[in-house]
Structure 1
Amino acid sequence: MQEELDQFTRNDVWYLVPRPKDSNVIGTKWVFRNKIDENGVITRNKARLVAQGYTQVKGVDFDETFAPVARLESVRLLLAIACHLSVGVCARFQANPKESHLNAVKRIIRYVSGTPTLGIYYSFDSNYEIAGYTDADWVGNVDDRKSTSRGCFYVGNNLVSWHSKKQACLQPKQNTSLPEVVAHNYYG
């Protein structure tokens, strides 16, 4: 638990404020999890402090809800476009930086230094074209006679989205020795 609280302090996630009058205060609770390896051995005990949002009453404590969650495809697309335009938001203020810009850079550096094992590589590329490649096998699974379709999508040389899905419907029974059907589509 102390490690989680230390991370809140280190990342400047929250700060203590006086309790507002005539307002419902949302409580918190600790959620404990054991991380186990592939052999079922506990490798780490984790603790997370979560908000008890279910104590809020619509119309009294809030009017509408909003979940600030972006799809990973959107984030990767944004990174690919940012790489192509080789411009950082913080770099725009080099000529006239303010303390808020310095704080933003420090927060970015704290995040990057705290997550050294996470990453995805996006390169600068003069090619700014969008390309999509798709592929489908014909009855790839002989047991249930279902096909699998898959695809990947690029902005320049940067992969932004991919999928692989077994089809829900069955293919008609035919000669399964047919060669694989491959379709490559280019969107530019």
Structure 2
Amino acid sequence: MANQVRIIGGRHRGRRLQFIPGRGLRPTPDRVRETLFNWLQANINGSRCLDLFAGSGALGFEAVSRGAVYLCAVEQHRAAAQRLRGNAELLGEQDRVEVIHGNALQLLRTAPDAPYDLVFVDPPFADALIEPVCALLETHGWLTSHAMVYLEQDAKRPWPTLPAAWSIHREGKAGQSAHRLLRRNIAG
């Protein structure tokens, strides 16, 4: 049976979305999402968002609910990607939400159509993907000069080395997860 995640703010506040459970899938808890989106409130409206390892879509759909103009959700699990498309239709957001069924690392090795203002990186905790994903985001033109990048990982794991142009904006821990919101600082 499919699980549910609740959108906690914005125009779709209170809506429940179904998601397909899968290996390593743990939707970001409401409390952590609320903290994250409080941190981001001045940066969401009008933003282009990229949700890598989208899973339940909790982070990306929350951003759309709060004013993001475009969301690209990347999910490797076929059934989960189909559910994400269904949830975009359920919300009436299919014109602003693109779901890509595929491998995030392979996608990031290509050049994007346009850079992103906000990126969510929340891979399965068992995989050591944050460092290579961040390097590819930085070197392949995926980020605007003022981009914000959200990272979530197992709290027991040390944070990897990040691109030199990134600085920690906020960070915290909740249960088994540690999270960071980073700001890219490139003049221009």
Q: TM-score, normalised by structure 1?
A: 0.22
| Higher relative strand content | 2
Q: TM-score, normalised by structure 2?
A: 0.22
Q: Flag the structure with larger Rg.
A: 1
